[in-house]
Amino acid sequence: MLKNDLILRAARGEKTERTPVWLMRQAGRILPEYRAVRNSLSGFKELVETPELAAEVTIQPVDLLGVDAAIIFSDILVIPEAMGLTYEMVEKKGPHFPKTVKATSDIDALKVADPADLGYVYEAIQITKKELSGRVPLIGFAGAPWTIFSYMIEGGGSKTFSQARRLLYSEPAMADRLLDMITESTIGYLKQQVQAGADMLQVFDSWAGVLPPEHYSRFSLKYISKICDAITEVPITVFAKGAWWALSEMNDLKCRTVGLDWNMNPQEAREILPNKTLQGNLDPCALYGSNDLIKEETKKMLAAFGDHPHIANLGHGVYPDTDPDKVKYFIQSVKELSAH
């Protein structure tokens, strides 16, 4: 039994005694305790692939920051890896794929991921669940197919994603084939996360904002929709960064919650998505401000969501050089200002 199920009740659209709060990237570089674990290893990937340690850093923000949910420490790129395309994490630069998908023959060499290949993630979930012993829910996650596709084509992050976007125009059938494989891989993976104990799931579409609206519907939302249709066991949150114009289409997704980035207007989102819980959306840079400013901005954010079902969060991941005390102050402010 969960002692604190605020976030699950909010996701279901129920009234809660206060607004639940957690942060994207809460388990990570802002915490010295995380850095201590991370520095004892060869690198990020070893941490992701060592269940006991992944569980330890997943729980740190629950203990240290007082968040209302834990999110399993992992990476969205475990899916391409399980499909046969390995990645490496380059210090200070981010993910890099030594080999990318350039032609149909490269897709022929890939497979739909066998959920069994990602056993280390489920094991980390099981350990975390046991150690949390019902204090807060645990969120599982995956990348949206379009975002994963972008990395597999580009080989890393990009300002324009012109290689990945070019394919949508020049080889749409090839793009669909790869997107289908990613989607199928992701559904199997998320279902196993739920079986291992994840209480809710989030789909991260980090590169949603680079697509024109028509392509976003056709090559991203279509596949996110398949994921939402396939998973009925737990509430799902869809966070599509930069896709403000797609909010009305998200009404049709079978997800419970829609995440807003800091450029999106909560008042507008409430009108467009009357039946969804909304998540977000404080600007992560507000946490560089004074405590008074953080409190003021938090108050404004809460007022903008009003009495609409809401899960407080930042409008993107917390930035690595943010002072953990400021993060803690934001979390306390949400709790204090939203209690009724």
So what's the pLDDT on residue 5?
98
Confidence grade of residue 340 (pLDDT, cut at 50, 70, 90): confident
**Is 256 noted as a catalytic residue in this protein?**
no
Q: CA 141 to CA 145: how far, in whole Å?
A: 12
Range list of H helices, the chain: 6-11, 32-39, 44-48, 51-65, 78-83, 104-108, 119-132, 145-154, 162-170, 172-196, 213-216, 222-230, 247-250, 266-272, 291-305, 324-338
**Is 135 noted as a catalytic residue in this protein?**
no
Residues 12, 18, 25, 218: which is the catalytic one?
Answer: 25
291: preceding bond cis by omega (within 30 degrees) = no
So what's the pLDDT on residue 141?
98
pLDDT per position as a tens digit, 234-248: 999 999 999 999 999
Q: CA 129 to CA 123: how far, in whole Å?
A: 10
Per the CB < 8 A criterion, the answer to whether 125 and 72 are in contact is yes
- Name beta bridge partners: 259: 239, 279
pLDDT for residue 73 is more than 90? yes
Across the chain, mean pLDDT equals 97
So what's the pLDDT on residue 92?
82
So what's the pLDDT on residue 271?
98
Residues 38, 135, 177, 218: which is the catalytic one?
Answer: 38
Residues 29, 135, 177, 218: which is the catalytic one?
Answer: 29
So what's the pLDDT on residue 321?
96
Which helix (H) or strand (E) covers residue 160, if one does? none
pLDDT per position as a tens digit, 127-168: 999 999 999 999 999 999 999 999 999 999 999 999 999 999
**Is 75 noted as a catalytic residue in this protein?**
yes
Q: For the chain, what is the total number of helices (H) and then of strands (E)?
A: 16, 9
Residues 34, 122, 151, 216: which is the catalytic one?
Answer: 151
pLDDT per position as a tens digit, 169-224: 999 999 999 999 999 999 999 999 999 999 999 999 999 999 999 999 999 999 99
**Is 35 noted as a catalytic residue in this protein?**
no
Distance of CA 23 to the CA centre of its chain: 10
pLDDT per position as a tens digit, 112-124: 999 999 999 999 9
pTM of the complete model: 0.98
The end-to-end CA distance of the chain, in Å, is 24
pLDDT for residue 91 is more than 90? no
Residues 75, 199, 205, 261: which is the catalytic one?
Answer: 75
**Is 165 noted as a catalytic residue in this protein?**
no
Q: The tokens of 190 are what?
A: 């998320």
